[in-house]
Amino acid sequence: ATHRRPPPSPPMARLFLDQEPLTQYKDRAFEGSIEEYLDALRHSATLYVGNVSFYTTEGQMHAAFSQCGAVRRIVMGLDKAKQTPCGFAFVEYHNRADAEACVRYLNGTKLDDREIRVDFDWGFVEGRQYGRGKSGGQVRDEYRTYFDAGRGGYGKLLRDELEGMKAREGGGAAPEVGVKRERD
């Protein structure tokens, strides 16, 4: 008889998160066990808002999120190097019930023509308002390979490559991405 080997198990943290409806994300900056993290999520009145346009204002955020309850404060995510918006925010409510209503009603809705992601967060602490990417913004924006006007255009790595090509070609217009150039 042949014995089938069971599929490899995901890491224990992944098992907990997959069974937990609060979030599918584990913030690596949280210092504590997965149980402590999930407990913090269950009691927090703080939300993480992702996929925010770089042009969305705090006033627009307040107008949208105050529809679910009294907002205690909004902290806009900033590029650590440039001190400019970089596409996320933290929204704190005065109570858990309003935060739950917000996740239920605003997650997946459009704000400033972008579908935002609203998720429970373990709580804002100073320093978390800054992007964690090498360039100072969000990591995901460094690797983006398509043009996204609401998040600053192309990703940083591709933008740097296009600018380098432009400089090597004598300052002419950068070639279109995905279009073959004629060889000399």
Taking each helix axis as running N to C, give the angle between helix 96-106 and helix 58-65, from 0 to 180 degrees, rounded to the nearest 10: 100
Please write the tens of the pLDDT for every residue from 119-148.
Answer: 999 988 888 887 665 555 554 555 566 666
| Structure tokens, 128 | 């978390």
Please write the tens of the pLDDT for every residue from 42-95.
Answer: 999 999 999 999 899 999 999 999 999 999 999 999 988 888 888 899 999 999
Helices (H), the chain: 12-19, 34-43, 58-65, 96-106, 139-142, 156-168
Output DSSP code: residue 16. Answer: H
| Contact of 66 with 119, CB cutoff 8 Å | no
Residues 6+ apart with CB under 8 A from 42: 22
Mean pLDDT of 144-167: 68
